[in-house]
Chains A and B, each alone.
Chain A
Amino acid sequence: MSFTAKVWAIVRKDLAAELHTREIVSAMLVFAVLALLIFSFALDLQGRSAVAATPGVLWATIAFAGTLGLSRSMAREQSGGCLDGLLLAPVDRSAVFFGKALGNLIFIGIVELVLVPLSVILFDAPLLKPGVLLVLALGTIGYAAAGTLLAAVAVNTRAREVLLPVLLLPLVVPALIAAVKATSWLMDGGPLGEASGWVNLLIVYDLAMVAVSMLTFDYAVSE
């Protein structure tokens, strides 16, 4: 079995479990829609101000909703000893990491598929542009990588789910700043070339988080 086949097997397992229970995506989705509503009440989002605030509202919603899915996806492994089973399986720990991270990426991606069109409708923000979608993908990759590692750490502590946002959110600050800035620039019709600083920062963040998580994931899950 090749490395990618092992990763894919873990992703398929997560997708199958999710198709069966639908608890991760549905919880994230409902939370995300509620967050959009609460942001629009709290910030009184109408007209121009709504468009200007959309990138920030969108990314804050993804960051908060994402922690729900990340926690749940790891907690599901832990209950019933699934994680032990995964670790006993004759696969490299980095394959387990990539499998879990890819699963999380897909779950958050599904939520974004709803969240982005909804923001377009609610706030009249021109988000459906190739550049914006590229930034969305890049930001989510780094977030999912760091989030998968820290969810594995948090789920094994006494505080469990409570600890994940505390651990994760301060570490995603650089990705959030870059993603919000790049999203608003590209949304307003700015050329991709002039947002390259932010896009490059996102790429570096993604690479750094994937590399560090791959190297340290073993220590985060082994007993």
Chain B
Amino acid sequence: MSRPPRDRWGLALIAAAAALLPLAVLAAFFYAPRELSMGDVQRIFYFHVPSAWVGFFGFFVTFLASIAYLVRGERRWDIIAASSAEVGLTFITAAVVTGSLWARPVWGTYWTWEPRLTISAVQLLVYVAYVMLRSAADNPAQTARFSAVYGIVAFVTVPLSWFAIRWWRTIHPDVLTGGDSSGLEPRMVQTLMFCLLTFTVLYFAILRQRVRLEAARDRLAALRESEDLNLG
């Protein structure tokens, strides 16, 4: 078996993420103006919102890849679904943690049952269940099939959870769509957009590596199998 070819796209994504991340940090701390009422604490927002975005985007990719797997039955879709769920899980965890850290000085409590924070926590649990399901199945084909079913049904509940939780409680500052009172400074919007871009690139860079890792595991398993056959 030959060496896998050098991963140009993967290296390019890592290079792009490595270039963008320091700029995003600089923008969040120095370019974006200090928020008047919340002060410097508000700067966590530039990492919190992109983390949540990447989390949900990752789950959406898992949903699409799960459908593709059930339709096509190709292993690569299963790898993408599993990898994206894991990356999404990491980022949604970051979103929940940064949200709590921000809530403490601003709302005076680490945890409130605020809709976006709540749905992030619910989705965190959903995809923890997804990862547990993958580790509990008996064989690779079963793992792929079951987790594809779960990846689909889980994502279908996202909009429903969203409406349910939103009607249930709402105190989140509606910074992006809200009225004039919560309007953002242009520099804040620019910083946020830049951070969203950076985190999205970072998502694809990590996803690519995670997918390659899984493919490498498959090759290793295939090699071991042929080795065993040769020895036997």
Contacts of A220 in B (CB 8 A): 145-146, 149
Contacts of A205 in B (CB 8 A): 157, 160
Which B residue's beta carbon lies closest to that of A163?
Answer: B136
* Cβ B133 vs Cβ A167 within 8 A: yes
Nearest CB of chain B from residue A207's CB, rounded to whole Å: 11
* Cβ A157 vs Cβ B157 within 8 A: no
Contacts of A181 in B (CB 8 A): 167-168
Q: A156-B146, A219-B145, A220-B149 are in contact. Are A174 and B137 (CB under 8 A)?
A: no
CA distance A166 to B157 in the complex (A): 15
Which of the candidate stretches A9-17, A73-81, A115-123, A208-216 sits at the interface with the other chain?
Answer: A208-216
CA distance A197 to B165 in the complex (A): 13
CA distance A157 to B146 in the complex (A): 9
* Cβ B153 vs Cβ A173 within 8 A: no
> 1/0 per position for A159-183, CB-CB distance to B under 8 A?
1000100110011011101100100
CA distance A170 to B124 in the complex (A): 9
Contacts of B154 in A (CB 8 A): 170-171
* Cβ A212 vs Cβ B126 within 8 A: no
Q: A157-B138, A157-B146, A177-B165 are in contact. Are A163 and B153 (CB under 8 A)?
A: no
Which B residue's beta carbon lies closest to that of A171?
Answer: B157
* Cβ A157 vs Cβ B163 within 8 A: no
Nearest CB of chain B from residue A52's CB, rounded to whole Å: 16
* Cβ B164 vs Cβ A178 within 8 A: yes
For B123, B156, B157, the residue with the greatest tally of chain A CB atoms inside 10 Å of its CB is B157
Interface status of A201 (Cβ within 8 A of chain B): yes
Interface status of B161 (Cβ within 8 A of chain A): yes
Interface status of A29 (Cβ within 8 A of chain B): no
For B136, B164, B167, the residue with the greatest tally of chain A CB atoms inside 10 Å of its CB is B164
* Cβ B156 vs Cβ A208 within 8 A: yes
CA distance A149 to B167 in the complex (A): 28
> 1/0 per position for B49-90, CB-CB distance to A under 8 A?
000000000000000000000100000000000000000000
CA distance A171 to B142 in the complex (A): 21
Interface status of A48 (Cβ within 8 A of chain B): no
- Determine which of B149, B156, B157 lies in contact with A219 in the assembled complex, contact meaning CB atoms within 8 Å: B149
Interface status of A158 (Cβ within 8 A of chain B): yes
* Cβ B153 vs Cβ A170 within 8 A: no
Nearest CB of chain B from residue A99's CB, rounded to whole Å: 19
Which residues of chain A in 182-217 are interfacial with respect to chain B, using CB atoms and an 8 Å cutoff?
197-198, 201, 204-205, 208-209, 212-213, 216
Interface status of B129 (Cβ within 8 A of chain A): yes
* Cβ B150 vs Cβ A167 within 8 A: yes
Contacts of A167 in B (CB 8 A): 129, 133, 150
Q: List 25 A-B contacts (CB under 8 A).
A: A150-B153, A153-B150, A156-B137, A156-B146, A157-B138, A163-B133, A167-B133, A170-B126, A170-B154, A171-B157, A173-B122, A177-B165, A181-B167, A197-B167, A198-B167, A205-B160, A212-B152, A212-B153, A216-B70, A216-B148, A216-B149, A219-B70, A219-B146, A220-B146, A222-B145
Q: Please list the 3 inter-chain residue pairs (A to B) with the smallest Cβ-Cβ separation, ordered nearest first.
A: A174-B164, A174-B160, A157-B136
Q: B: which residues have CB within 8 A of A? A: 70, 122-123, 125-126, 128-129, 132-133, 136-138, 142, 145-146, 148-150, 152-154, 156-157, 160-161, 163-165, 167-168
- Besides A205-B160, A216-B148, 6 other A-B contacts (C-beta < 8 A): A157-B136, A157-B142, A171-B154, A174-B157, A175-B160, A208-B160
